Amino acid sequence: MSNSLHNTTASRALWETLEPELRKAEHRPSRIVKAHHRAIKNWLMLYCPIDNSSNIKQVHGYFESFYHLCQVGRWDLASNILDTKPTVDSDKEFHNQLFVWGYFTEQIKLYEPLLGKVSIVVDANSYLALGNIHHTLGQIDSAAECYGQYLRIVRRINDQEGECKALVSLGNLYDTLGKYEDAIELHSQSLKIARELNSQDDEARALSSLGNAHFSLSNYAEAIQYYQADLEILKELNDTFSQVSTLGNLSSVYVFLGFYDEAIDYAEQQLALATEIESQSGICSAHGHLGNSYYSISEYEQALEHTNKQISIARTIGEQPSICSGLCTLASIHYSLGHYDSALENLLELFNSPWSIHDRQLSMKATGLLGNIHYSLGEYDLALKYTQQKLDIAQELGDQQAESIALGDLGNIYYESSDYEKSLEFSQEQLVIARRINVRWSEAMALSNLGDTYLKLENYQDSEASLRAAHQIFDELGDQNAVAVTLLNLAELHYQLSLMAESQDYCQQALTIATSLDIPLVQSCLELQELLGKQIK
């Protein structure tokens, strides 16, 4: 059966439930009321979208019927339309299906007219839904207002399950604002209530949110435990929409841990499931995770492809958080390719978005990237300014991973300023944190930075040990850009030791990788090869 026939069958069934209720109110109805009633019948009984039309066209009759019911003051029946499944085989109610499809603005037009018109329960549900939409769109103040209204109502009517949902929703807002301990407190309260009520969907939601907060605090082992527990419940409930989100969360953790194959696998699962249920938000998220994963292993062409898809979908559905996240990844890719002007353009657009004010994690990451760009341009005062800002935010948020990276970046800046003792100090601090939180990429970066600094201090033994250890980790992680940099550093070390054959071998390996990646390191390799050529002659 075609989608159109599916929809027609469902809409006719809806008319059969509405017609008796409308007839009850038809004692001497005015012409206008009769006209609205006829319109409702026509939209539900006669409207038949063509096959393969857009999702929003498939359910256009529901929107029109909702409008006409509101026009005659039948708010109760209009509310019922929201809870109707739009197709005979749909597992989502009309209003929830719109969220899955990414029609957020259209959802708002359904909820807002019902406020104060039907019942306190409908008001509560509308405020919760509106809060979720505003949060998704990056409208934090509006989301907070709606969640607050929802919490006040559910407490007034002693709805514990509703309170459970309110706590986790407010906790998610705190997480966005970087108030992770407050978020964990609210999520823990929500989890306790959910388990007391034996509400598995609320338990899963609280577990996922706890995973997010611990992820932000670099507690990766705890985050994985919460996500896996969440995923197990969601599979039992057959909640595919929520599974999409959790698979993406797992991908994020494994990227930070340096397990890129696992990260890509989870992101591909996310993309397949999101595509199956036509979740535009989920598809957008999956492309974002794939973009990050491929960027991390220096597969820049694939990273660009997925990130551009993420941004395109996010713009279509109005998801500001995903637009900004994609812009940050895009800037990172352009930075790695040496396209500094493009990277700065991406960051300028990001910082001009109101969302960057609310999402402190993203703002911190973008600020650090700005420091990296100025560092690469030789503008060390600006690099120091922005990198110090990143470190301050990371320490304030308790984000140990970001703190570790910022310390390493500060070490690099002092290295270029010939303050090698200070550079050594920052790199050693970075190494301690990286090993404490078990983030191998950050550990390798610290070792690489230490190797460079030891070389400047003519401590060749420690320099070689650090560089070899860094090379091994980068190679295991598949970060070819970092592998090439470390090989070039080993080449320079052996050049200093007058071991020209070994230096030539390392330099050629670095040049081969850098050429394949088309990164600025190619020029440094060629310059060293020229020096080696003169020495060998």
Token pair listed for 18: 């509405």
Token pair listed for 246: 């959790």
Cα 226 to Cα 499: distance, rounded to the nearest angstrom: 52
When pLDDT is cut at 50, 70 and 90, the band that residue 4 belongs to is very low
Cα 434 to Cα 403: distance, rounded to the nearest angstrom: 9
CATH topology of domain 319-383: 1.25.40
pLDDT of 7: 56
pLDDT of 2: 41
Token pair listed for 32: 């206008």
Q: What is the pTM of this model?
A: 0.81
Query: Burial level of 225, CB count in 10 A (0-12/13-18/19+)?
Result: middle
Cα 262 to Cα 309: distance, rounded to the nearest angstrom: 21
When pLDDT is cut at 50, 70 and 90, the band that residue 451 belongs to is very high
Cα 266 to Cα 251: distance, rounded to the nearest angstrom: 5
Q: Are 169 and 150 in contact (CB under 8 A)?
A: yes
Average pLDDT over residues 229-256: 97
Cα 366 to Cα 386: distance, rounded to the nearest angstrom: 10
Average pLDDT over residues 237-250: 96
Note the pLDDT tens digit of each residue in 191-241.
999 999 999 999 999 999 999 999 999 899 999 999 999 999 999 999 999
The set of long-range contacts for 305-311, using a CB threshold of 8 Å and a minimum separation of 24, is 307/333, 309/284, 310/284, 310/285
Higher per-residue pLDDT: 31 or 466: 466
DSSP at 50: P
* Domain definitions of the chain by residue range: 1-90, 319-383
